[in-house]
A and B are shown apart, each in its own frame.
Chain A
Amino acid sequence: EVQLVESGGGLVQPGGSLRLSCAASGFTFSSYWMHWVRQAPGKGLVWVSRIKSDGTSIIYADSVKGRFTISRDNAKNTLYLQMNSLRADDTAIYYCARPKEVTRAYFDLWGRGTLVTVSS
């Protein structure tokens, strides 16, 4: 089955860290440029970060630059998001998303998301 499954979310204090994972299956993960998109509770979708298929090109939204690190392990078919210096406004459901066309940035496959709550 073609799917993405996120994990690693939870409750963390401001200033803390979390590492999210996204396990891919049913497709050639190593071919796709992969993305993270987040959604604060009751709010809209916000693109967070993208990594090229071989990991050599990475970009971030300004809101997370310098605090978040995207990475991937193509041997394990897994995408990661290391989140440091977390703030209350990072509270959101984090989705990993696969583009419909390998290098484009519109998404035909989404995971169910993992909830990150930043609170003391």
Chain B
Amino acid sequence: DIVMTQSPDSLAVSLGERATINCKSSQSILYSSNDKNYLAWYQQKVGQPPQLLINWASTRESGVPDRFSGSGSETDFTLTISSLQTEDVAVYYCQQYYSAPWTFGQGTKVEIK
């Protein structure tokens, strides 16, 4: 199984400041035949189901604010919130969809400092 490890577990950032979440996979999730990284990012607010933010490591979902961006390749990935807003308080998960069983990171809780 591919293990997804996020860091940090929690993060407190001032309003308007940058938040950076890292995600590391235990093996490469870059598929060589199409040069795509099989990685998604989700946001989960309290009491709600997850919401897809980013797929293919860097493709922002329609309607997701452009302050959210994804980057990285092979085994190391980053979700960046360029200017943290109150509504961004949530837990963020990375997920690999390269191979079954599809696995998630343990989550990173983002709070306002």
Residues of A within 8 A of B (CB): 44-47, 50, 59, 61-62, 95, 100, 104-108, 110-113
User: Is the CB of B104 closer than 8 A to any CB of chain A?
Assistant: yes
Contact, CB under 8 Å: B105 / A110: no
Which B residues are in CB contact (< 8 Å) with A47? 101-104
Which A residues are in CB contact (< 8 Å) with B48? 112
Which A residues are in CB contact (< 8 Å) with B42? 45, 107
A95 to B97 CA separation, bound complex (whole angstroms): 17
Chain B: residues with Cβ within 8 Å of the partner, total of: 22
A108 to B107 CA separation, bound complex (whole angstroms): 18
Chain B interface mostly: loop
Contact, CB under 8 Å: B61 / A108: yes
A2 to B41 CA separation, bound complex (whole angstroms): 21
A83 to B38 CA separation, bound complex (whole angstroms): 30
Contact, CB under 8 Å: B40 / A106: yes
Partner of A50 from B50, B55, B100 at Cβ < 8 Å: B100
Contact, CB under 8 Å: B93 / A105: no
Contact, CB under 8 Å: A104 / B50: no
Contact, CB under 8 Å: A106 / B49: no
Tell me whether A45 and B93 are in contact in the complex, defined as CB-CB below 8 angstroms, given that A100-B55, A107-B52, A110-B49 are known contacts: yes
